[in-house]
Structure 1
Amino acid sequence: MRTYGARDHEATVTEILPRTQHFIRVRMSSPTLMDDFVYLPTCFVRFWFPDVDDPESEQQRAYTITEIDEDAGTFAVDVVLHEPSGPASAWMMKAKPGDSVSVTPLGSTHFDVPEELPAGYLVIGDSASIPAINAILETVPNEVPLEIYLEEHDPKDRSIPLASHPLARFHWVPRRGETSLAAAIEDRDWSDWKVWAAPESGSLKHLRKRLRDDFGFPKSEIHAQAYWYYGREFGKKRPKNLVDETAIETAAPDAAGTVAAQEGASTPEALVTGERREVSEESVGAYAGDLPTSASRSAATMDSKASHVASSEPAPKRGAWKAEAGGRLLAPLKPTFILAGIAQGIITLVELAPFVLLVELARLLLSGAEAAQLWTLGVWAVALMGAGVLLSTALLLWLHAVDARFAKDLRQRLLRKLSRVPLGWFDARSSGQVKQLVQDDTLALHYLVTHAVPDAVAAAVAPITVLVYLFFVDWRIALLLLLPVLIYIVAMAIMVVQSGPRTGQAMKWAERMNVEAGSYLEGQPVVRVFGGAAASTFRARLGEYIQFLEDWQRPMSGQKAFIDLVTRPATFLLLICGLGTTLIVTGAMDPVSILPFLFLGTTFGARLLGVGYGLSGLRGGLLAARRIQVTLDEGELETLVSAPSVGSSAATVGSVQDASGRRAVPGRDPSDRDASSRDASPDAPGRDASGRVEFDRVGFSYRPGVPVISDLSLSLEPGTVTALVGPSGSGKSTLAALLARFHDVASGAIRIDGHDLREFTPDELYTKVGFVFQQTQLVHGTVRENIALAVPDATDEQIEAAARAAQLHDRIQTMPQGYDTVLGPDAALSGGERQRLTIARAILADTPVLVLDEATAFADPESEYLVQQALDRLTAGRTVLVIAHRLHTITGVDQIVVLEDGRLAELGNHETLITQAGRYRQLWDAGAAATLVGASTTVGASTEPGSDTATGAAKAANAGAATDTAETLTSASGEGQIR
């Protein structure tokens, strides 16, 4: 360990606190330890305890830091007192304040939660690892589930306090042998879960095998370490006389040794916050494996049907992990890679052959050979050189053709996938991220597909072939040439170890900075107006990125310079000339024999550096492949043939009715959908009784176990206006997004005219539901194309009628080419005009159901009046769902739905709810206190076409000059997430 700078530090016991009958907390003081120790959650230190059987030796044991005061130089560890006791337990049992022991922080690790959260954590251990498990429970975010499996060695183990976590389940597994813990793991799909395992070493061996073989866990998703081994002494041994030396000469612990326990403990009551499950003997016995002799008596008591269960039950389901996504994407190219590797190996040999022939040609020249021999070798050398160039070119052309076809197919698959994923998928990502996926990531695969395999094969075959040849010429110089190669390999390995997780972090930083730079450039108007303050966030993030790169690369700058020096052709030439001259002068080598080394020996460095430079491209390609496959694995909107009724109550206008009181709506044959579609005419009169929307026991969550909408039932009758109100985070935007099918419900169903949304294809759905959101989005194209976006085959007359109804026709006529004007810098629309164009789209689409956000948010007073008139025309006779931002604007709607924590808290009209001392009244009072003007403005409920009174959502969008409520009733519709 001297190489790594390990030092001993003296730790003195200051206090011992019993926590249970066999579990104690030991507080210690070691001021010098803090000089070598950077504390992070779940870090540990290694102790050296006197060996009770060998006074001249010490045993190693690692313990988690559970408390620390770096300024005072104090820390604490939690210790399980085992019986029979080993060196650690024996010392701890007798320890008292003032006793000292040697400690070192070498090899300490910590538990990290990645930026991309896993589906969950499978945490496995026993009493010795409970401090570590407590630290994990305290570190993992509350929305991530954990399954905790604890092997019980002693009944007292259950009294050890465990930390709490809202989504943690605890499973105690009685130990009956080395296979008990592995057998207890639930047979289920563990896709995208991570494993942290630290049980006894014998149990760990079987556990790792089952995790890999039965469930398919990749190695990268398993963090496994052993704390101790049944029947063996703890840790690694060292002579006691090393205790006073500064450096420690010992080996790092292996799987049979000890690695740290990790932080933290709480109260025994913490167990009740998660579900506790006993693992039956039968389930343990169902796993095949030999039980040790000490457990044979217990094993004999197992139920006889356990073996039947083991043989008859289906094999556990193997999961799929994002970490392996890149491999799945590239799997079809595996035959191509194999053929390319074989071909490149042959080409490399062909390319090296001319150099060997030239060496022989030089030998013949010096020995006075006949001209015919020289011509023959020369012709062969030139022919092989030409053949190598032709073959290499042909291979690259073939691989480029493969890459072009693969990239084309990949982009088509991505575009098909993006057309089928829920719209909420786009809301969770910026346009820069989507562009990177479709364009940049597919381009990043170019090196991986076209050059990675040939470069790797050439880098391996060429040096090995040359070395073999040179060893036949003179083994002494060839052996010397191995020295720079070995130095390069060792130095690169050290750099890779030092980089550790920072390589992946660098990729994340690069991706993040691309998005930040795009946002910074798009926000230049704001930056210019507000000056440095507006740009400070970007500058700060850029400074953090630069600091990260400096912290990562600066310590390795010397190593990189050394590697470059070692692999230079001049270095190889110096070695060849130095040793070769010595051998020639002493007569130990024929002078002609140095020629092969001069021709071939200097090429090693370029080959090795080529491998290093190619690694970044290879790593970038693999990450791009992973991102692409993860996207291709995203769930798509499912189209059902039929959707059964959930059979629950739904709330109708003004009241919450039970199942017996709910008005039934007759179903309609799916084949009649097209026939029932109305012409997209903006002049159509009032609608018939269609457009009934029913939310039937709807449940939804963005992450498993964290519900956003819970068991919500609600009905929107045809031609009525329903307003969603509630505090920020109550689920308003999410509920509207579900009606738009930005996401599919997790439970229950949403129906339009008796048909589940999932029965409709996207094109069919958007003939039923229209949207007008605050954030308008125009596509690159003409005004006509933008209006007809939802109805591409609309006639010019229909498009113009929609524009007239949206109060936009006159503005379009002033544009250079009228409806054929291409929207851009020379033909821009104001915020109010853009909103009216969006309304024209909705009018042309002529959907019976409409979802509205505050449509006048970006309009000036003059534009607001025009937008309001357009909304009056749009909402007439339709079923409207409004996301209400200001309560005074929705007093006249038919139905107000008050949401709180994703549940229906109250339901009724304004007159009913305002008289109740409920949540709506609280929100109203808060809004009234904040409203400065326009408090008397209300929304009429008229559904007559042409009514001068703004109807439903039109009046809900009547912004006035009122301020938002004190409850911050704002939401950005279409974001797909709760605000």
Structure 2
Amino acid sequence: MTERPAPTTAPHAAGRPPLRRILYGVRRRIAVAFVLQAAGSIAGVVPFIAVTLIAERLTAGTAPSGGRLWPLASLACAGGLAAMVLGFTAGVVAHLADNRLQLGLRLDLARHIGRMPLGRVSAAGTGELKSAIQDDVHALHSLVAHTLLDATALLTAPLLALAYLLTIDWRLALLSVLPLAAGVYLFGRAMAGAKANMAEYGAAQSRISSAAVEFANGIAVVKSFGRGRRAHARFLAATDGFSEFFTGWVRATLIPSTAALLVVTPVVVLLVLVTAGVVFTGAGWTPVVDLVPFVLLGPVVSAPMGLVGARMQQIRTGQAAAARITALLDAPVLPEPAVPAAPADARVSMRGVSFSYDGSTDVLKDIDMDLEPGTVTALVGPSGSGKSTLAALLLRFHDVTTGTVTIGDADVRAIPAADLYRHVGFVLQDVRLLRATVADNVRLGRPEATDEEVKRAARAAQIHDRITALPKGYATVVGTDVVLSGGEAQRLSIARALLADTPIVVLDEATAFADPRSESLIQDALSTLAFGRTLLVIAHRLATVRSADRIVVLDGGRIAEQGRHEELLAAAGRYARMWRSQGLDASVDLTAPTASRDTSRPDLTPKGTHR
């Protein structure tokens, strides 16, 4: 039976510090690993104690018999063997806990991100999400599988060694603690401000990750326009900032941290104990034979200080990672309706819609707009006017601040997310493809679709011939076996939308980054997709939508004017000025009837849908 992953959002874990909350689901396994490691550490000290007892008997003045030494030798061997077995078992248990934790965290994060508003996910960026799901979760591996066990060993063995030394000579035992005390003091100096520095360290790493992902994703576009040097400036700025911060941090902590390590080295500890031992034996305070356990176990007492720096770093890294993970898990999700509603038809209505990202400044104000079934509505306007934001409200990437967005008289907030995306599809200019087969990428539109339906959608999207030319055809893995061009990826996303066969489709400048040949194919595919559907088109080039049933001009988050192309030109307003400034009369018009927009197109309608 497959074991269920550890829950990270258990009710009893609520309100706890982030790290304790993250580890709540595997706390019992970690506790077992602690006990095993503590027992192993105790067993690891036994051979040293046995050796000191053997040395005491060998220097007692009379030759000891084998019968007096062999039990101690056997005890030493048994202690060493037990330490290895218990330490190995503790490591296995800790790694099993770590495996369960990482699987559970990644599943929880994936489920939670899937329920977050898509606008929030897009704003976070792939770098931040990758950092949380991959880097931050992986950062907990060292903490759970190694560091916590090491910390247990570093505490248990020295305490047992010190307790034994106190029974031999309490004065020398206290002297053996002096190097440790000095190391703790110096290390405390070095770690001053470590919490704030670790937070900045994690933030700097995230900035580098985000900048690297952003640059890698856009490198093809920026190089095409000769802006490669400028495009990687953000990445260079992130790395330079990290270098400056980290260099300053290291410079400030180098001297005290190095001194903390030096004072607890075995050479220094032995020098202190041997010097004190010579004085003590010379004064007759301590027998010579009593120096043996201090020579063997004295360095063990101070040993934790030599490793505590690295372990503290790992603990703080784990704490910072846990804080970022829990912050993402606590991010608001789209509320599911208590009483679900179902759209009656494909009519879209927006009434009194306003929206603000930060709750203070409205980027959309008092929007009233209707999209009638089977019509094409185009959103145009200058950059920053709110076109993409308005379309995102229909897709429920965000929820309106005030007003309502309805589909078939049902408020989009009352439509369950799974049902909403059966009614509203979208083709965006930033295409996202999975590292999966071509067929699976298309089948995202409707997972239960047959192979023949997938192929029919691809033919309608003008991408079938390109797919069949691939080495493995529809079984070719995107990103591994082949890297598709921007136009090819766009047509693949159109095939996905065709397969989904939603009655409402949002197009966000789907040809923005396509070359002329790909643009022609994409336009044909879009015309097929648009046929018979309620279409909302975000357009930057006005000539591509001049035949739209309605053109809505946004300016400053408000509707400046709306109407048909001829009406808006005659009004000599904002639209007319934009039209004259662009001069794109010769551009392709995706809203105009074409040969591909006829009733002979392939029937992609799944059973039981709206069609």
For 1:531 and 1:642, the matched residues in 2 are separated by: 51
Aligned-residue CA RMSD (Å): 3.2
SS at match of 1:882: strand
For 2:37 and 2:590, the matched residues in 1 are separated by: 75
SS at match of 1:501: helix
Mapped contact 1:719–1:879 kept (Cα < 8 A): yes
Pairing 1:384–2:111 present? no
Aligned to 2:168: 473
Mapped contact 2:547–2:592 kept (Cα < 8 A): yes
For 2:398 and 2:368, the matched residues in 1 are separated by: 17
Aligned to 2:179: 484
Mapped contact 1:326–1:627 kept (Cα < 8 A): no
Aligned to 1:359: 52
How far 1:611 moved relative to its partner?
1.9
Aligned to 2:286: 589
Pairing 1:451–2:103 present? no
How far 1:626 moved relative to its partner?
1.9
Mapped contact 1:527–1:535 kept (Cα < 8 A): no
How far 1:902 moved relative to its partner?
3.5
How far 1:481 moved relative to its partner?
2.2
For 1:333 and 1:811, the matched residues in 2 are separated by: 49
How far 1:926 moved relative to its partner?
4.5
Aligned to 1:922: 574
SS at match of 2:369: strand
Pairing 1:749–2:404 present? yes
For 1:418 and 1:531, the matched residues in 2 are separated by: 32
SS at match of 1:560: helix
- Opposite residue 577 of structure 1, the aligned amino acid is V
Aligned to 1:560: 257
For 1:915 and 1:884, the matched residues in 2 are separated by: 20
For 2:144 and 2:587, the matched residues in 1 are separated by: 67
- Opposite residue 576 of structure 2, the aligned amino acid is W
Gaps of 5+ in 2: 1-13, 600-611
For 1:500 and 1:945, the matched residues in 2 are separated by: 62
Aligned to 1:415: 110
From 82, 85, 90, the equivalent of 1:395 is: 90
For 1:594 and 1:936, the matched residues in 2 are separated by: 94
- Opposite residue 46 of structure 2, the aligned amino acid is A
Gap change, CA 1:422 and 1:565, over 3 Å in 2: same
Mapped contact 2:48–2:296 kept (Cα < 8 A): yes
Gap change, CA 1:783 and 1:468, over 3 Å in 2: closer
For 1:803 and 1:522, the matched residues in 2 are separated by: 25
Aligned to 2:7: none
Mapped contact 1:355–1:381 kept (Cα < 8 A): yes
**Mapping of 1:682-693 within 5 angstroms?**
690-693=345-348
- Opposite residue 569 of structure 1, the aligned amino acid is P
**Mapping of 1:173-192 within 5 angstroms?**
none
SS at match of 2:355: strand
**Mapping of 1:364-763 within 5 angstroms?**
364-367=57-60, 368=62, 369-499=64-194, 501-520=196-215, 535-642=232-339, 668=344, 690-763=345-418
- Cα shift readout 1:439-478 (whole Å, capped 9, x = no counterpart): 3322222232233433323323333332333233223322
**Normalized per residue, which structure has more helix?**
2
Aligned to 1:206: none
For 1:941 and 1:862, the matched residues in 2 are separated by: 19
For 1:489 and 1:850, the matched residues in 2 are separated by: 65
Aligned to 1:325: 18
Gaps of 5+ in 1: 1-319, 645-665, 669-689, 949-979
Gap change, CA 1:609 and 1:535, over 3 Å in 2: same
SS at match of 2:124: coil
Aligned to 2:585: 934
For 1:701 and 1:725, the matched residues in 2 are separated by: 20
For 1:540 and 1:864, the matched residues in 2 are separated by: 35
Aligned to 1:789: 444
Aligned to 2:464: 809
How far 1:905 moved relative to its partner?
4.2
For 1:822 and 1:480, the matched residues in 2 are separated by: 67
TM-score, normalized by length of structure 2? 0.85
Q: Which moved more, 1:326-335 or 1:820-829?
A: 820-829
Aligned to 1:350: 43
For 2:214 and 2:438, the matched residues in 1 are separated by: 27
Aligned to 1:842: 497
For 1:446 and 1:552, the matched residues in 2 are separated by: 25
Mapped contact 2:379–2:551 kept (Cα < 8 A): yes
From 529, 533, 539, the equivalent of 1:884 is: 539
Aligned to 2:608: none
How far 1:331 moved relative to its partner?
3.1
- Cα shift readout 1:8-42 (whole Å, capped 9, x = no counterpart): xxxxxxxxxxxxxxxxxxxxxxxxxxxxxxxxxxx
How far 1:875 moved relative to its partner?
0.9
- Cα shift readout 1:74-112 (whole Å, capped 9, x = no counterpart): xxxxxxxxxxxxxxxxxxxxxxxxxxxxxxxxxxxxxxx
Aligned to 1:799: 454
How far 1:427 moved relative to its partner?
1.0
Identity of aligned residues (%): 39
Gap change, CA 1:413 and 1:801, over 3 Å in 2: same
Aligned to 1:896: 551
Gap change, CA 1:838 and 1:404, over 3 Å in 2: closer
SS at match of 1:428: helix
**Normalized per residue, which structure has more strand?**
1
SS at match of 2:553: strand
For 2:521 and 2:38, the matched residues in 1 are separated by: 73
Q: Which has the higher contact order (CA 8 A, sep 6+)?
A: 2
For 1:939 and 1:335, the matched residues in 2 are separated by: 61
How far 1:347 moved relative to its partner?
3.7
Mapped contact 2:378–2:551 kept (Cα < 8 A): yes
- Opposite residue 582 of structure 1, the aligned amino acid is V
For 2:548 and 2:252, the matched residues in 1 are separated by: 66
For 2:232 and 2:596, the matched residues in 1 are separated by: 50
- Opposite residue 268 of structure 2, the aligned amino acid is T
TM-score, normalized by length of structure 1? 0.55
Pairing 1:857–2:512 present? yes
- Opposite residue 364 of structure 2, the aligned amino acid is I
Gap change, CA 1:445 and 1:902, over 3 Å in 2: same
How far 1:485 moved relative to its partner?
1.4
How far 1:760 moved relative to its partner?
3.7
Question: Aligned residue pairs: how many?
Answer: 582
For 2:454 and 2:19, the matched residues in 1 are separated by: 47
Mapped contact 1:400–1:450 kept (Cα < 8 A): yes
How far 1:908 moved relative to its partner?
3.3
- Opposite residue 117 of structure 2, the aligned amino acid is P
**Mapping of 1:44-83 within 5 angstroms?**
none
- Opposite residue 247 of structure 2, the aligned amino acid is E
SS at match of 1:800: helix
Gap change, CA 1:769 and 1:944, over 3 Å in 2: farther
How far 1:881 moved relative to its partner?
0.8
**Mapping of 1:41-440 within 5 angstroms?**
324-367=17-60, 368=62, 369-440=64-135
Mapped contact 2:264–2:305 kept (Cα < 8 A): yes
How far 1:341 moved relative to its partner?
4.2
SS at match of 1:850: strand
For 1:831 and 1:727, the matched residues in 2 are separated by: 24
- Cα shift readout 1:657-698 (whole Å, capped 9, x = no counterpart): xxxxxxxxx974xxxxxxxxxxxxxxxxxxxxx411122443
How far 1:639 moved relative to its partner?
3.0
Mapped contact 2:39–2:83 kept (Cα < 8 A): no
How far 1:820 moved relative to its partner?
4.1
How far 1:720 moved relative to its partner?
1.4
- Cα shift readout 1:258-311 (whole Å, capped 9, x = no counterpart): xxxxxxxxxxxxxxxxxxxxxxxxxxxxxxxxxxxxxxxxxxxxxxxxxxxxxx
- Cα shift readout 1:221-246 (whole Å, capped 9, x = no counterpart): xxxxxxxxxxxxxxxxxxxxxxxxxx
